[in-house]
Structure 1
Amino acid sequence: MWTLLLFIPGIIKSFSYSQTYYLYKDLQETDASGHIGYVDYVTLSRRLMDGHKLDLFILRLSFIGWDILGWLTCGIGFIWITPYKHMAYMNFYTSLVEGHDLVSEAEALH
């Protein structure tokens, strides 16, 4: 039981921090990227994922069948599955940031 208490919050936090890379790449193209620290990207990711962690969990859960198919084909199926998964995660990110002004939110952290 105690193992679950450490395991489940770790998964939830990983979902909170999952958009950090996308935010970093997205905001590097702006002029304000010099003022934004790495911790700010993590904070923005946490704020962005508020209320959307279950959506990401369901999205990742939907790929279990594809992952099993990839392993059944001795990894050859991952040639097509991996780009498909990454594009789905990128579309999830773009749907999250649609109504947000990321530059002003990042500058407000300072």
Structure 2
Amino acid sequence: MKLPELMRAVGDVVQTGGTAVHCEALAREAGRLADMVGWASGPIDPQGQLLDRLATLQEDLGERNARTGDAGIAMLHDALSVLGRAIARHDEQLDPESAGEDEGEGFA
């Protein structure tokens, strides 16, 4: 599954719900994609649109989980967090303007 397909499937879960098995499968897929992020040869989300969409899906999943208490929804929400952080970290490492920003912090 590619990232756009995952995001569409998560959007469907937000709209209609999903079984625990389905949510777990999507969470595993998000984890698999997060593990593959480092292999990308260039930025994945240079304009930040993808991360914005992931954040919106997470908010929507959080609201659905608050209504239903569904553990599968919570698992999927957390997996999207991991994926979003992996993408952000990858893109920051490729951005020459952010290079060295963390160096020396806390070592005054």
TM-score clears 0.5: no
Using structure 2 for the length normalisation, give the TM-score. 0.35
Tell me which structure has the larger Cα radius of gyration.
1
Structure (1/2) with the larger helix percentage: 1
